[in-house]
């Protein structure tokens, strides 16, 4: 798997002492419009608002911050083990807080329920999913939240898919049955419906709001190192940089 770099941070390195240079290695996933691979004339880079935010923080700290795009399960395992120092995008949950120092949540989105247009399904509350096949990208924050909503719903066949693109294509192709539905981040779903030309899918309703931030591995990053990163991030929140980045991508700041 090639290593993708934040283009704007390649030139920065800071000596913490006279002989020690700091670097934060980040991992992320293909999760458009938040993060995605973008081909330039020279190389492939990771693009998206979270990449731009991390690049701005690292530029402010004058440190090198390479980013690797991986399947989410692998990215999460590397960051939890401390083999990568940082990861995005992450929700605030007990599992994530145990493994990571979490920044404030930076962007607000929503989880939506999607169905084939011919299905005519309308979602109002979790009980509407009873008796249906429900597909979701996971294990992930989305599948974690969905699982919480389904604790009191009977007769649901839950299917975990490893990729949102594949998930939405399978939904349109009736791979989850005539009455099958999918739970997907709303911004991701709208992006994929447009770019994958998924003309036979509609949003049936909203499950709940969700917010995403950045995590630094507790295995690899000390409290002091996290505070230094977080203070730089907070400075960029305070001067409007983070909000401008998010809004330039059509996303809603969480603050």
What is the mean pLDDT of each successive set of 10 residues along the chain, which is 255 residues long?
Answer: 43 34 88 87 80 98 96 95 97 95 98 94 96 94 93 94 93 95 97 94 96 98 97 98 97 95
Burial 245-255 (b: 16+ CB within 10 A, else e): bbeebebebbe
pLDDT of 42: 54
Burial class (CB in 10 A: 0-12, 13-18, 19+), 124: exposed
Name the residue ranges covered by the structural domains of the chain: 26-107+211-253, 109-210
Could you tell me if 79 and 203 are in contact, meaning their C-beta atoms sit under 8 angstroms apart? no
- Would you say the CATH fold of 109-210 matches that of 26-107+211-253? yes
| Integer CA distances (angstroms), 102 to 131, 144, 176, in order | 37, 18, 35
pLDDT of 7: 41
pLDDT of 22: 83
Architecture of the domain spanning 26-107+211-253: 3-Layer(aba) Sandwich (3.40)
Specify the pairing of strand 107-116 against strand 201-217.
antiparallel
**Given phi > 0 = left and psi -120 to 50 = alpha, else beta, which region is 82?**
left
Q: Packing angle between helix 223-238 and helix 49-61, nearest 10 degrees?
A: 110
> Which structure tokens are listed for 153?
């719903």
Could you tell me if 106 and 246 are in contact, meaning their C-beta atoms sit under 8 angstroms apart? yes
Could you tell me if 59 and 8 are in contact, meaning their C-beta atoms sit under 8 angstroms apart? yes
| Integer CA distances (angstroms), 123 to 128, 208, 221, in order | 6, 12, 42
For domain 109-210, the CATH superfamily is Periplasmic binding protein-like II (3.40.190.10)
pLDDT of 162: 87
């Amino acid at each position: 798997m090639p290593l993708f770099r934040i283009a704007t941070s390649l030139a920065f390195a800071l000596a913490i002492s006279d002989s020690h240079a700091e670097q934060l290695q980040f991992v992320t996933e293909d999760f458009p419009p938040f993060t995605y691979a973008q081909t330039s004339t020279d190389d492939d880079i990771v693009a998206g608002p979270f990449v731009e935010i991390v690049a701005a923080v690292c530029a402010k700290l004058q440190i090198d911050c390479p980013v690797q795009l991986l399947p989410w399960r692998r990215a999460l395992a590397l960051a939890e083990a401390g083999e990568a120092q940082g990861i995005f995008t992450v929700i605030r949950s007990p599992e994530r807080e145990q493994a990571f120092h979490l920044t404030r949540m930076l962007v607000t989105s929503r989880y939506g329920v999607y169905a084939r247009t011919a299905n005519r399904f309308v979602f109002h509350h979790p009980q509407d999913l009873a008796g249906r096949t429900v597909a979701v990208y996971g294990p992930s924050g989305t599948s974690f939240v969905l699982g919480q909503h389904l604790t009191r719903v009977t007769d649901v066949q839950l299917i975990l898919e490893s990729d949102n693109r594949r998930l939405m294509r399978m939904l349109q192709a009736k791979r989850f049955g005539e009455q099958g539905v999918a739970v997907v981040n709303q911004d991701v779903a709208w992006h994929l419906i447009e770019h994958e030309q998924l003309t036979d899918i509609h949003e049936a309703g909203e499950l709940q709001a969700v917010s995403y931030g950045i995590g630094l591995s507790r295995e690899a990053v000390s409290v002091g190192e996290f505070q230094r990163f977080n203070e730089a991030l907070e400075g960029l929140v305070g001067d409007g940089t983070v909000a401008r980045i998010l809004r330039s991508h059509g996303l809603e700041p969480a603050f």
